[in-house]
A = this chain, B = another copy of it.
Amino acid sequence: MNAEFVNPFISGLLNVLETMAQTSLKPGKPMKKNTDIAKGDVSGLIGMVGPQVKGSLSITFDENLALTLMERMVGERPASVDAEVGDMVGEITNMICGNAKRELSEKGFDFGMATPMVVSGSQHTISHQVDGPKLIMPFNSDEGMAHLEICFDK
């Protein structure tokens, strides 16, 4: 998985959070994921199906970061990860993937996006079941961590 392919997802995440919630994330060092090390409290997941490849993407937030994003977007801070926070995370997931889909389509790489799913639960982990490369990318912020994972089957 080369940078040309991964960068549209990363820039999608940074742009979406900057635009929707005036929040800057600091990208950490990307890793090839071999174990399920990203733990978080709320995650958006989406499947991708293209003519040549299929894969999956997840974006996992610490609870505090998710609540702060919600607060910055709607002006009020929920007490915990509720259905509205879930919807926000689903929408962010859709936008990251849609952003990348547009950019990659211009480069001749096409895929269809499934509908997003949102998982809530303290300190859950996600394992992407692909044979191909798995990339995990940590992001830091004053409000907590986010982890973006992108995986394809070859």
B119 touches A55 (CB 8 A): no
CB contact under 8 A between A129 and B115, given known A36-B120, A56-B47: yes
In chain A, positions 39-65 with a C-beta closer than 8 Å to chain B are 43, 45-49, 54-56, 58
Count residues of A near B (Cβ-Cβ below 8 Å): 41
Contact B43 A114 (CB under 8 A): no
The list of the 4 closest CB pairs from A to B, nearest first, reads A47-B47, A47-B114, A121-B124, A90-B129
Given contacts A47-B49, A56-B47, A83-B36, contact A128 B120 (CB under 8 A): no
B36 and A114 contact, CB distance less than 8 A: no
Residue of B nearest to A47 (CB): B47
- Whether A6 is near chain B, meaning CB under 8 Å from some CB there, is no
Q: Cβ of A129: which chain B residues have Cβ within 8 Å of it?
A: 86-87, 90-91, 93-94, 115-118
Q: Which residues of B contact A56 (CB under 8 A)?
A: 47, 114-117
Cα of A114 to Cα of B113 in the assembled complex, Å: 9
Q: In whole angstroms, how far apart are the Cα atoms of A117 and B151 in the complex?
A: 10
